[in-house]
Structure 1
Amino acid sequence: MKNVLTILCILLSYVAFAQYEAVVFDYEKSTFNENQPLPSEKNMMFSGSVSPQITLIDVKIYKGSSDHTDKVPLSEAIWKRPYGNTSTNYFLPINFKLKSKQKYNFSINYYRDLIDMERQMLRNNLFRLLDSYVDMTFTMKKKKISISKKYNVIVNDLDVIVEDGLKLYKNRNEMDFDGFSDFVKMKLKYIEELNLEKSSRLLMEGEEDKKKILAMRQQQIKELKDLLHNEVDQYLSMDWMILVEVKNIYQYPTEKTGNIIGLNAGYAAILYDFNFDDLDYGSSPYVGISIPLGNRAFKSSFLSNSSFSFGVFLSEMENNEGQTVTGPFIKRPLYAGLGYRVFKFIRVNAGATLIETEKPGNNKVNVKPFIGASIDFNFWLGIGDD
């Protein structure tokens, strides 16, 4: 039974991996698949060698329009080393399909775990930056606390200090810093509105008065700093890693895929005249070409299954008056319309048909509606190869 379960797990893993195109990153050469173009219009399985000390790899994909990466990547995928794993290889699924014959920039970032001393240094550095900002923002002026900025600006500045201080770090839970809590905001609002001058009237004048006012100011600032420290401490309680190396690859090409075109062969009916009592129509086999309205790799299933179709009916027809119905140019009705694939090989088409009705001494060309169903065959054409 154990052997059966093992084989089943291997087969399931094979099926899962088969859904991805293998991409091997060469760490030394900074190339993919021996410097071959990357697969396009497919999900990828990144793999490569990695030091046992590396615990997280962050792969970011950017537009390849220049040698500089944009601030926001097109896609990002993260590999995290499982606890207790010391393997020197990694596998990272990239659920982002690259476009055909395009260029992309890649940023591959390597992180390792922080040791206790580094964690403490990070903590102390954030505390120092926050405390310095608070001391510069709050001053004592005429026996009251004076604030150089509005409290909402201060909150934003404090958030930025923490975010900037952690730019080289990631936590295993992938949790971003959401900013300081409402308790910090309420404390700042309270200090902003607080006027110690009113309180000072209840105190004795002289040197003792100044000391009490100073103590009140210091207490408010201390409580604010304690709040900031506690919330930063809580955020730093997770497992943290530090960036140790970045591999940037610019203007890396993708392979060119073929252009898809659909060939149709089916049967359709052309409506000559709509009358409930005497419906006038003709039917015939037809063949044609369908051009998809969207690429299946990037568009919705509705657009990728829809198409613009055109073609020709294969036989002459006859209307209720016994007149022969053909078409202009090639003596067969021509059609153009929209199609939709309802099953894997079945496409429904509907649109307009250009017909010619043969009358004695005066053939008449008309546009009439049609509807039909066909078997659909897709072909990949390498049009425009270099």
Structure 2
Amino acid sequence: MQKPSLLFLLVLCPFFLLAQYKTVSLDFESTYIGDNNPLPAETNILFTGSIPSYIDRVELNIKPPKGKSNILHSAVWQRPLDNKEKTYSLPVNYKFRSSASYDIEVLYFQTLSNAQRTALVQTLNKRLQLFLETQLTQESKTIEWENKPKRLLQEMNDLLQADLQNYRTGIAAPAQELSNLVALQMEKMADMRMRDSVGQVRMAEERVLLRQLLQDELDRMLPAPLYKIADARLLEDCPTESKKGALAVNAGYGGVYFSGDLGEDLDYDTAPYVGLSFPLGNSAFAPRFFSNTYIGFGLFLQDFENADEQKLTGPITGLPIYASLDYKLFQFVYLNLGATLLEETTAGDRQELFVRPFIGLSAKVNLSVQFER
């Protein structure tokens, strides 16, 4: 029997995928998003809108619905230098789930003047000084802290975090927390003794150094420009659009292995096939391997014949049935690896079922199917 040639030509074609954004309007005066339509799902979004000229920073926080406080994603737009436009464009690299809802929090900030920033730093310094005074016990010859200096440093940073929750520094600014230098200075003071006037003078100097260190730390962590919340919006239970599920129809050509080793005694046959397949993962969220891999099943369009010229069919349909894992090689071309369920008529007209592996190449066409949710 003349066997058809089984040849798979794989051509590597590199290509680039450019990130795409869907534009959604969100103006400063609006209490709804866009035209009150559902948010785009499974894609990145570019939020744009009009803002007053005094707004220099926009922060958008995506939260779960029902008033949950945790933030799923945060994006920031900051006005470039010498830009006085009354619009902003904020790319959000977070893909919404289909047929879901989210809370959208939008915070609008304005820049503090130099005088306002200086006043804020002075107020924070005084609060930290007052806190330290309550944590200090001075004996006749020593001073003692109510807690370990590193613990006090953490408590001071917690105070600052609470006081600064309505403020933001520039994108490239350092972290808003006091450094370990403050704890080291407090440890140094705790180790000092004031047995005489010299020791007392030294202690007074170290306390001045601590106050100056706090001032320097605040200046470092709150550089200009410094922003304060001027307005805010909370858009609750914003729905997302419904997306249709993925189902692919594939047609290909493959070979089924029966027996033997690679060489003259290799027993196989080939045939075209058609089937349906489902992706293992959503391409918007799943890793590339899973979004490029499908589970498929279908039929070979003709019976097989082995080296002994025995006809091999399949159960139920009368044609061989297959199940496969399909991996995308190119835009429409998939490598199929799987198993074929075959049926053979033996002596006495008995029908015997057995499974053999197969390999093939197929082309897929994705269909949009609305699944019940």
Larger CA deviation: 144-153 vs 182-191: 182-191
Answer whether contact 2:176 2:221 (CA < 8 A) is retained. no
2:24 counterpart letter in structure 1: V
Which residue in 2 is equivalent to 1:188?
186
**1:106 corresponds to:** 104
Aligned match of 2:31: 30
Q: Secondary structure at the match of 2:58?
A: strand
Alignment map for 1:1-386 (pairs within 5 Å)? 19-64=20-65, 66-70=66-70, 73-177=71-175, 179-194=177-192, 196=193, 200=195, 203=196, 214-276=200-262, 277-361=264-348, 362-384=350-372
CA contact (8 A) 1:25 1:48 kept: yes
Gap runs ≥5 in structure 1: 1-15, 204-208
Q: SS of the residue aligned with 1:264? A: strand
For 1:193 and 1:311, locate their aligned partners in 2 and report how far apart those are by CA, in whole Å. 81
What is the rounded CA distance, in whole Å, between the counterparts of 1:359 and 1:85 in structure 2?
Answer: 84
CA RMSD of the aligned region, Å? Answer: 1.9
Q: Which residue of 2 aligns with 1:13?
A: none
Partners of 2:222 and 2:174 in 1: how far apart? 11
Distance, in Å, in 1 between the alignment partners of 2:189 and 2:322 is 77
> SS of 1:257's equivalent?
coil
**Distance in 2 separating the partners of 1:249 and 1:151:** 43
Residues in 1 aligned to 2:240 and 2:174: alpha-carbon distance in whole angstroms? 32
TM-score (norm. length: structure 2): 0.90
TM-score w.r.t. the length of structure 1 is 0.87
Tell me if structure 2 keeps the 8 A contact 1:293–1:307: yes
Matched position secondary structure for 1:33: coil
Rounded to whole Å, the distance in 1 between the matches of 2:107 and 2:337 is 52
Distance in 2, matches of 1:99 and 1:193, equals 58
Distance in 1 (CA, whole Å) between partners of 2:244 and 2:260 is 43
Unaligned runs of 5+ in 2: 1-17
The answer (yes or no) to whether the contact 1:171–1:240 under 8 Å persists in 2 is: yes
C-alpha contact (below 8 Å) 1:151/1:192 kept by paired residues = no
Partners of 1:359 and 1:179 in 2: CA distance:
81
2: CA distance, partners of 1:160 / 1:296: 41
Task: Compare 359-368 and 166-175 and name the one that shifted more.
Answer: 166-175
Q: 1:168 to 1:176 in 2, by over 3 A?
A: farther
SS where residue 56 of structure 2 aligns?
A: strand
Q: Distance in 1 between matches of 2:120 and 2:175?
A: 15
**Matched residue SS, 2:249:** strand
- Checking the alignment, whether the CA contact within 8 Å between 1:173 and 1:238 is kept in structure 2 is no
Which residue of 2 is the match for residue 7 of structure 1? Answer: none
Report the number of matched residues: 354
Secondary structure, counterpart of 2:355 in structure 1: strand
